[in-house]
Copies of this chain bind each other. A is one copy, B any other.
Amino acid sequence: MSAPARLVTQCPDDILSQCAALMARQGYHGTSMRDLARTTGRSLSGLYHHFSSKEDLLYLINERGFSSLLGNAERLREEWRSRARAKPATAADAAALLRDLISAHVDYFSRHRSEMRVLMLGTQPMSPAHGEVVRRLKQRYSEVLSYAVSEYLAGHAPGTPRAEVERKAWLLFGMMNWIFGWYSVDELGSPRDLAGDIFGIFTQGCLAGSRAAATSE
């Protein structure tokens, strides 16, 4: 423990994202360790110096991605809660929280598209222990979003049933996640426009309530 300090190595951050980029295109099982070694400019056994196994690599990508996403979301929620303690929150405040969460999500996705695509393609091939950690992160993240949705609905459409709140939160998730699964971000305009559209459609759509669905018949 002396002069030059440890900044490189230790945790192979760039290697991880290079691997994620390849896995995003070919899938976990469709990408071999030899493929990953080649694109990271290392040898096969050199790659194993950084990760204990292929599954471990997948876990690290998942853990890192969801942790960042969750960190952003929980920070926004805490800021909102401390503001709410200072002075009572208005309905507009809840809308602002929801809008910030959507923006943060879309921004993060657009800046880490490969990693996010890996996260979306499923958790199946992970060990029970790793899978549990990732599942927990996923759930905590969706709980923050559900919380914001229910706070928003409490202010703008009070009395919405719990089941409907959750269903709508999931639909919001759908809008936020799907686009990056199929399409390129280049064809969709800026993340800012996209987040604005999602926020606009969701909030205005929720205001109309569920009874508005009966148009014909």
Contact = CB atoms under 8 A, between A and B. Distances in A.
B205 A167 contact: no
Given A27-B122, A95-B216, A197 B178 contact: no
Chain A interface mostly helix, strand, loop or mixed?
Answer: helix
B181 A175 contact: no
Copies of this chain assembled into the complex: 2
A208 interface: yes
Contacts of A89: none
Question: Contact residue range for chain A?
Answer: 35 or more
Contacts of A121: 27, 121-122
Contacts of A189: 163, 167
Contacts of A209: 200
Contacts of A179: 170-171, 174
A29 B170 CA distance: 29
A39 to B, nearest CB: 16
Nearest to A207: B204
A53 interface: no
Nearest to A217: B96
A196 B193 CA distance: 26
